[in-house]
Structure 1
Amino acid sequence: IVSLVPSITETLFAFGLEGRIAGRTRYCIAPPEAKDVPVVGGTKDAKAEKILSLQPDLILAEKEETPRELVERLEKEVPLYVADVESFEEGIRLIRDLGEITGKRERAEQILSALEKEYAHFREEREGIWRKVFERGERGEEPLTVAYLIWRKPYMAAGSSTFIDAMLRQMGLKNVFAGRERYPAVSEEELQAAKPDLLFLSSEPYPFSPKHREEFQRMLPDSRVHFVDGAMFSWYGVRMLQAPSYLIRLLSEMVKPL
């Protein structure tokens, strides 16, 4: 198997398929054992010749990240699965699909069963947190609004039809750029006009860090700025198991009274 998707590579290891993974991208860094797998390039510049030289019987790609020309070239020679995950439900379906096509249906169902329990617990905790917020009476029953930035120069935000937006909704937050699809470029003026209660700066693909805080607090003095683990919002597959506890910690931190 050659995987061109970091979150899928991680999921293959969770399925116990490490012995079958012949190639990965340089961004496939989880779990740590993935570093022993040969690299075929990046997510957007993987080399067809390198991939085919590994003689895979299955290639796993991603609709947004893997260039269409590469997909068209590879699928002529090797069975190829293209992941297309824009919602929480599609994240569930992906795990099931991977179990089917790799012969690990039972392991996939174990992961899905664990996910169901984790998210049931997560939803209970989330409701409890929001109940306390609404009881404080600061904003009636209005959800907090959020802008989630993935890039700088130009600023780019997560809009609708993204897994990130799906995870924000899981938290009970309202994405101020949900009226725009995928990852729109947004200007400083548009950010200011959107007036988000919260600004999430992702650790990936752009590595936002605390040194950027001043830039955004000057731009959005009334917004709370949080640096967030991008993988918890954008990696589907087995990483979805780790997300609930992270999201609850983040939510608890965010809703503290100013």
Structure 2
Amino acid sequence: MKSGLRTWAVAARLAACCFVAGVGALAPTPARAQAGPMQSDTAPTAEVQPPAARAITLAPHITELIFAAGAGDKIVGTVSSSDFPAPAKAIPRVGDGMNANVEKTLALRPDVAIAWLPSGAAQTLAPTLSRMGIPLLYSRPRTLDDIPAEILRFGKLFATESTALPASKALQTRIAALRTRHIGSKPVSVFIEVGTSPLYTIGKDPLLNDALRLCGGVNIYTDTAIAAPQINAESVLVRRPEVIIAPTANGIRLNEVRNRWTALHLPAALNGHVYGIDPDAFFRPGPRLIGAVEALCSYLEQAR
């Protein structure tokens, strides 16, 4: 079940939702994935009188960002997929990314709720939160630089700037180092495999394409109209990527991906350029994405 939810989640996050991906029956239809943008990425923190003390997070990356800002102890409720860092596992659950229990949420007496977009769980809670005068904010990083910026934002919201500022600066430094290191690097074409049943990839997703550009990578499906297109193997063979990125930190799973593309005689696989990245780090727009991008850049360097 976790694999199926992850497959749906990555396509939904890339089309406009929030989690991480594998493959399964819950993957969205192409029609669902083509849904347009829903509203601005963030709501002004002025709606909340800082410091906020009791927060509900409705996406795992938001939980990670708030912990990075030093305010993890302010989260009183979250969704089932919030599993990092380790203390997040002990936070009471109010639902998953698609649904939330209104009664459980109100019982936790939040003074702010923070979501990815006004769909799913946020849409369920929004009318009640509005009636109760509880602000509903949004966090949707679109570039790598937005991630440290969000940490600072949450530091201000929860009055934990003393932790958020150095954490933000540390990530900014790492991003800047990658940008400097790979300026002028030879472009490398990349295929990011999201799942296999059916086969999804990364398309017009601003955040992950920003990550690829930082490394000198070029997404072979960046010209698609949606963020998580369903494709077929023949299309990948025609586009001939130089590198394949698989969403796995498991060696056995990575070998399966490598063997599958090798059997299809894809040059990237024949040349040994199939690499795995932890999907939780790579597909969640939180602090761990920076480490995943550092790994991505090193893989593209090997391919060069």
TM over 0.5: yes
Q: Partner residue of 1:84?
A: 140
Higher mean C-alpha deviation, range 98-107 or range 145-154: 98-107
Measured in 2, the distance between the counterparts of 1:217 and 1:127 equals: 31
Q: Partner residue of 2:13?
A: none
Q: Does 1:39 align with 2:125?
A: no
Q: Partner residue of 2:236?
A: 191
Shift of 1:145: 0.4
The alignment partner of 1:9 has SS state of helix
Measured in 2, the distance between the counterparts of 1:2 and 1:38 equals: 10
Measured in 2, the distance between the counterparts of 1:29 and 1:126 equals: 32
Q: Deviations 1:138-160 (Å, cap 9, x if unpaired)?
A: xxx5x110111222222111112
Q: Does 1:111 align with 2:199?
A: no
Paired residues for 1:40-189 under 5 Å:
40-63=94-117, 66-67=120-121, 69-76=123-130, 77=132, 78-127=134-183, 130=185, 141=186, 143-180=187-224, 181-189=226-234
Q: Deviations 1:96-152 (Å, cap 9, x if unpaired)?
A: 332232223443332222122222322343359x3xxxxxxxxxx5x1101112222
The alignment partner of 2:66 has SS state of helix
Distance 1:68 1:24, change over 3 A: closer
Q: Deviations 1:139-189 (Å, cap 9, x if unpaired)?
A: xx5x11011122222211111233222211111100111112311111222
Structure 1: segments with no counterpart, 5+ residues: 131-140
Kept in 1, the 8 Å contact 2:281–2:288? The answer is yes
> Pairwise CA RMSD of aligned residues?
2.7
Q: Partner residue of 2:284?
A: 235
Distance 1:86 1:16, change over 3 A: closer
Q: Partner residue of 2:35?
A: none
The alignment partner of 2:262 has SS state of helix
TM-score (ref. length: structure 1): 0.80
Structure 2: segments with no counterpart, 5+ residues: 1-54
Kept in 2, the 8 Å contact 1:111–1:238? The answer is no
Measured in 2, the distance between the counterparts of 1:251 and 1:65 equals: 35
Measured in 1, the distance between the counterparts of 2:233 and 2:113 equals: 40
Measured in 2, the distance between the counterparts of 1:194 and 1:64 equals: 35
Distance 1:152 1:47, change over 3 A: farther
Distance 1:71 1:104, change over 3 A: same
Distance 1:44 1:254, change over 3 A: farther
Q: Partner residue of 1:254?
A: 303
Higher mean C-alpha deviation, range 70-79 or range 5-14: 70-79
1:17 is matched with which residue: 68, 71, 79? Answer: 71
Shift of 1:222: 0.9
TM-score (ref. length: structure 2): 0.69
